Structure formats: structure tokens, C-alpha cells
Chain A
Amino acid sequence: MRNIQNSNSGQSNKKDTQSVLLYMSSLGIVMLGVAYAGVPLYRIFCQQMGLGGVYVQEINEKKVATMKPVEDRVIKVRFEADASSRLQWNFRPLQAEVNVKPGETALAFFTARNSTDKPVVGISTYNIIPYEAGPYFNKIQCFCFEDQLLNPKEQVDLPVFFYIDPEMADDPSLENVDEILLSYIFYPSKQGFQVPAPNFLQPKNATVT
């Protein structure tokens, strides 16, 4: 009896071990698969959620390098400049507007002058009108969200290098939009001060001026 039991249990032990091994290796293969699939899935997720990080950077760099201008859609980008009254800077755009095609990188300038006798640090944010066009307005390089120091009586030119995403031409809700207003605002930069996010990134129920 014992022998039979032993041999039975011996066989079932072997089967158990085999099952466990099979199970473990299957699990391993599945996890490996998830890890590989995870990378492109994560990129898509990050892009949709607008989360920062290297994946969004790569996607956007690739877009700039490969996008084609939308020849039959010209957008007039108008420029506005504002400075908080607590910041004694003269801040204005150098050009009132530029006509650009979505998918074509473009340059524009603002200028700022510190009219005081002391160095002043400002920090800027911007708004896009209409709000719905905001997600299509991409800045490659500019001067926002970082401290900018102007020396006493100094004037500097402030470039904005941007493009309008060609996908804007495919968005039916923007079919009739042929003007976009880019409005910059400078604030004095102070410890603990948080410059407001651009209007189109605010929660939708916040009041937008």
C-alpha cells in the first residue's frame, strides 16, 4: 500500500513540479510581453494625458521634423503683451500679427524694458484665444515659465519659436477659426509665487477671460 502511495505521490509530485514550472514560465512570457507592449502604450498614454517626460518630448521632436505645412489653411496669429502693474516693465510685441500655415515653424518677437533703477526678475505665462486652439499651439522655444532677469533700464528682445499643429486643420470644431491670439503676461517673480497656467490648461469650469 505504502509503495503504491509513494509511487503515486512521487508521480503527482513530479506532475505538480511540472505544472508549477509551466505556470511560472507562462507567467514569465506574459510579463515579458506586457513589458514590451508597455512602452508604446505608455507613450500613447502620456501623450493623451499631456504628462511631461521623455516620451512626450520624443513624440513632439519627431512631429517638428516630419510635419508638412497645410498649404491651404493660413492662420493669422495676433500678439498681445501685458505686464502686471506690480512689474514696472514696458512689454510689447514687435509685430502685431503674422500669417502662418499649420505645420510650419515660425518666429515672432516681443520686447521688454525694465524702467526701474533696480534689476527685476519677471516670469511669464500665456493664453491662447480661442481656448480650443490652445492644444494646437506648440512652442519650441520661448521665454515663458522661467525667471527672466532684466538689469536697470535694460531692454531685451524676447523671441517665440512656435508652430501650429497641422492636425488643427482636421479638427471640425476649429473649421472656422482663422485667427489665434497669443497673449503673454509678465509677473514679478517672487518666492512662493506660482504663475498661472495657460487658459486652455485650466479646468473647464474655471472662468476664462
Chain B
Amino acid sequence: MAINQPRVKQRPPLKGSFPLDHEGECKEEIKKFMKCLEQHDSNHGECRHASKAYLQCRMDKNLMTKEEWWKLGYRDNVVDNKQNGC
């Protein structure tokens, strides 16, 4: 998709680029995630379920290739405890 092929080592992301969410289809999930971060002093560990929900939204709207959660670093015992207020 890039006009130029980079000749220097770029270290591209493992799964490539996220397609742009031009329609803002997952904006709500972003808001919830950001709210969670605010409520937990930016501790991402408390907001993993919100980050998972965002990625789930992307997968549902075909804005991300469906992938098994354990391959994305989400293991059941880590994420299924929903934090109140998140």
C-alpha cells in the first residue's frame, strides 16, 4: 500500500497496519477505555478488558483480522474479571 518501499530496516509491526476507522465505528469503545484509564491512574493492567472490547469491536466491523485472544496476549484468567466502573 505504501508508495515507497523502505530500503532501511523499518521493523514493521507484527500484524501490519490497522485500517483506519473512517466511520468511527469503534469510537464508543475508545471512550470507555480512556475513561477506565482515567479512573485507574493510567494503569493499563486494570483496563485490559476495555482494550479487549475495542479490539473485539474492530474484529466485528472487519477493521481487524479476527485472531484468537491468546495469540494477542489475552488469557482468560487475566481478563474476565470485569472491573466496576470500567
- Measured CB to CB, the residues of A under 8 A from B are 50, 52, 57, 60-61, 64-65, 67, 69, 94-101, 104-107, 109, 121, 123, 125, 138-151, 154, 156-159, 161, 163, 189-198, 201
Contacts and interface: CB of A to CB of B under 8 A. Distances in A.
Given A94-B34, A201-B8, A145 B2 contact: yes
A139 B42 CA distance: 19
Ranked nearest first, the 6 interchain pairs of A and B with the lowest CB-CB distance are A105-B73, A107-B51, A139-B13, A197-B8, A146-B17, A141-B15
Contact of A144 (B7, B13, B34): B13
Nearest to A103: B73
Contacts, number: 144
Interface of B is mostly: loop
Given A61-B71, A163-B73, A194-B7, A140 B55 contact: no
A154 B22 contact: yes
Most chain B beta-carbon contacts within 10 A, residue among A65, A141, A144, A154: A141
Interface residues of B, number: 42
A104 B3 CA distance: 33
B64 to A, nearest CB: 7
Given A141-B64, A146-B2, A194-B8, A97 B42 contact: yes
Interface of B: 1-4, 6-18, 20-22, 24, 26-27, 30, 33-34, 37, 41-45, 48, 51, 54-55, 64, 70-74
B16 to A, nearest CB: 7
15 contacts: A50-B11, A65-B70, A96-B42, A109-B33, A141-B13, A141-B15, A141-B64, A142-B13, A151-B22, A156-B22, A161-B55, A161-B72, A194-B4, A195-B4, A197-B6
Contacts of B33: 107, 109
A139 B72 contact: no
A64 B72 contact: yes
Contacts of A191: 3-4
A146 B72 contact: no
Nearest to A162: B13
A145 B12 contact: yes
Given A101-B45, A107-B51, A201 B9 contact: yes
B15 A193 contact: no
A194 B55 contact: no
B73 A65 contact: yes
B18 A99 contact: no
Contact of A140 (B2, B15, B44): B15
A141 B18 contact: yes
Contact of B34 (A95, A192, A193): A95
A199 B82 CA distance: 38
Contacts of A57: 14
B17 A140 contact: no
